[in-house]
Amino acid sequence: MLFRSGAKTKLCVNQFMGNVMTSLSESITLAEKCGGSSFSSNDLVEVLLNGALSSPIVKAKGPNMIKNNFEPNFPLEHQAKDLKLAVELGNEHGLKNLAVTEKSLEIFKKVEGQQESQIDMCGVVKAYREKNE
């Protein structure tokens, strides 16, 4: 695969973003499962937004995940494609163990395979919710 430096940069950024989405999905699902009157997924997102992990992606996607708002901004299928390309690019450069990215790709592909490819990438949370219902 021939990528120019700008494309490689974009791919690395999207790789990170996909990994953040799977991690955030896991944390929100855990908060939903163990939450109650004293703790909720909304509380989790608020803590994330007011601490060291605050980021525009958490601000934009966290509340949408909680509300099941998967109106596409960045389609899940595009995120899955970029994760796949990142793994391939890593392999081309001798990185044989991109375990986090490979697992994220597997999770994105699971949701995509359920004819959910056009939903927003934050819809990856569905993989966690469905697995744990």
Cα torsion angle, 23, 27, 32, 33, sign = positive
Alpha-carbon Rg of the chain, whole angstroms? Answer: 15
* Nearest to 49, CA basis, from 22, 34, 67, 27: 27
Spacing of C-alpha 132 from chain mean position: 17
Kindly give the residue spans of alpha helices, DSSP state H, lying in 75-124.
76-92, 99-111
Which residues does the annotation mark as catalytic?
10
Beta partners for residue 120, in sequence order:
75
Give Cα separations from 55 to 14, 46, 61 (angstroms): 15, 11, 10
